[in-house]
């Protein structure tokens, strides 16, 4: 079975993939969420100071020797997954068969939404996250301080990230929500500048966090792409 190791979005954790992983078709792969520092089962660990450090501290969760595998990341997680591929290739490790990035323009872009909300007070940030579906179900503002703290630390490393000219060699499947205002077709297609492999952009129904209730459609997109590479 193909393992699909998944990096979370900003403010997210491995638990965001709980429902997704249960619904994901086994014949396509097994979803294995990666926990990054400062949240979930790693909540007692300090946050990473850079996006690259976040990747390095999480690579031990990726079993590169257990057969064919894919890497996936959503939004911030797309950058983490991309940097993970760069590290694995540069260090002679077995690379993934496929990189799947979702909800994220090419690595050279910052999102206008992310830059705009970074300076907001906590209540305003919480309200903006609520509008785009970024607040965990049932979480009220009164109980959201830890969540907002994680969001802000993640935003900090994303905004400090600068993609260099290094290209990976694995194919990239780019997934985006048709109603996601944080991405656009031109910027999504520029993932082609970050790999020597095949790149395909696939639009699915939904807004920014579209993937979490679309395991079947996600899997179908992966299967269709892999038939062509």
| pLDDT tens readout for residues 153-187 | 999 999 999 999 999 999 999 999 999 999 999 99
Burial 53-91 (b: 16+ CB within 10 A, else e): ebbebbeeebeeeeeebbbbbbbbbbbbbbbbbbebbee
pLDDT tier for residue 228 given thresholds of 50, 70 and 90: confident
pLDDT band at 58 (very low <50, low <70, confident <90, very high): very high
Q: pLDDT value at position 227?
A: 87
What was the pLDDT predicted at 143?
Answer: 94
- Sheet containing strand 172-177, edge to edge, reads 30-33, 3-7, 69-74, 98-102, 172-177, 199-204
What is the distance between the alpha carbons of residues 114 and 158, in angstroms, rounded to a whole number? 9
Rounded to an integer, what distance in angstroms lies between the CA atom of residue 28 and that of residue 168?
23
Strand partners, 32: 5
**Quick one: pLDDT at residue 229?**
79
What is the percentage of the chain residues whose pLDDT exceeds 90? 94
For residues 78, 83, 84 and 85, what is the CA-based torsion angle, rounded to 10 degrees? 90
Q: What is the mean pLDDT of residues 205-210?
A: 94
Q: What is the chain's mean pLDDT, rounded?
A: 96
| Helix, strand, coil distribution of the chain in percent, nearest 5 | 45, 15, 40
Domains of the chain: 3-111+163-226 (3.40.50.1820)
Q: Fill in the DSSP letter of residue 195.
A: B
The 10s digit of each residue's pLDDT in 95-154 is 999 999 999 999 999 999 999 998 999 999 999 999 999 999 899 999 999 999 999 999
């Amino acid at each position: 079975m193909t393992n699909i190791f998944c990096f979370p979005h900003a403010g997210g954790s491995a638990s965001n993939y709980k429902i997704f992983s249960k619904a994901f078709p086994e014949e396509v792969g097994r979803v294995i969420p990666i926990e990054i520092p400062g949240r979930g089962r790693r909540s007692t660990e300090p946050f990473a100071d850079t996006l690259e450090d976040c990747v390095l501290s999480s690579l031990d969760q990726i079993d590169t020797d257990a057969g064919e595998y894919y890497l996936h990341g959503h939004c911030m997680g797309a950058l983490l997954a991309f940097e993970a591929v760069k590290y694995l290739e540069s260090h002679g490790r077995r690379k993934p068969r496929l990189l799947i990035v979702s909800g994220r323009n090419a690595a050279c872009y910052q999102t206008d939404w992310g830059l705009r909300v970074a300076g907001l007070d906590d209540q305003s940030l919480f309200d903006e996250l609520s509008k785009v579906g970024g607040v965990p179900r049932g979480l009220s503002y009164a109980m959201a301080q830890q969540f907002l703290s994680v969001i802000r630390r993640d935003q900090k490393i994303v905004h400090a990230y600068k993609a260099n000219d290094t290209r990976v060699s694995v194919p990239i499947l780019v997934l985006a929500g048709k109603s996601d205002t944080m991405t656009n077709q031109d910027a999504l297609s520029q993932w082609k500048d970050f790999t020597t492999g095949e790149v395909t952009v696939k639009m699915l129904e939904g807004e920014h966090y579209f993937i979490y209730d679309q395991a079947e459609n996600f899997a179908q997109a992966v299967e269709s792409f892999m038939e062509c590479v």
